[in-house]
Structures are given as structure tokens and as C-alpha cells.
Amino acid sequence: MTQLSRCARDLKVPLQEARGKVVAYFRRTGSVLQGTARAESVGFEIKLAIQTGADVTAVRRVLEAAHATCYTESCLRGEVPLRVTHELNGRALDPTPAP
């Protein structure tokens, strides 16, 4: 919602109300005890509801800019590298390789 309100302000499109809902879908398979446990994200939905007197073209520009500048959406699209580090008792511990 931060990017939505920021982009609306920058584009001078007044928003009377904005609500957002994120739905996440996950799946887990296997067994931790057997060493076969796996977890995955299988999808996300972002639902935005906006109240404004602005015209549709202006609102579309706001939405396009908000989605393009959303850090969370960028991560969910897989556009950033993931680096994992571990520490045990104050010393570096090499991470277990991913399957």
C-alpha cells in the first residue's frame, strides 16, 4: 500500500480509500524425520480496491507505477538473488546445500 499511496501522490491522483489483500498459497511435502521435507510457495494473489473520483486512465497509471515499484512484488517475481548465511555459537556455519 505504501507504493500505491506514494505513486498516487506523485501523479497527483487523489485516493479516498484504498484497501489491499494478499492471499498466499503454500504446499509442504515429505518428512522432516526422513530428510525429505520440502516447502514451496505455489502462488500469490494481490487484490486492491480503490475509491476515487479520478478517471480510469489516471488510476491505471497509478496502479502500473505502484506495481512496478513494489519491492515485495519484485521479490515474489524472483528478480533478486537470495543469500543465506548461518552462524553457530558465534562462528560461521556453511549452509546445507539446497536439494
Whole-model pTM above 0.85?
no
Domains of the chain: 2-93 (3.30.300.20)
Mean per-residue pLDDT over the chain, rounded? 92
pLDDT (tens digit, 9 = 90+) per residue, 29-62? 999 999 999 999 999 999 999 999 999 999 999 9
Select from 27, 33, 40, 25 the least CA-distant residue to 99: 40
Task: Report residue 99's pLDDT band, with 50, 70 and 90 as the boundaries.
Answer: low
**Nearest in space to 62 (alpha carbons), one of 99, 54, 40:** 54
The answer, yes or no, to whether residue 97 has pLDDT greater than 70, is no
97 or 27, which is more confident?
A: 27
Cell of 82: 537470495
Amino acid 1: pLDDT:
84
- Residue in the block written with cell 562462528: 91
Give the dihedral of Cα atoms 1, 6, 66, 10; nearest 10 deg: 160
Measuring CA to CA, which residue among 70, 55, 77 is closest to residue 6?
A: 70
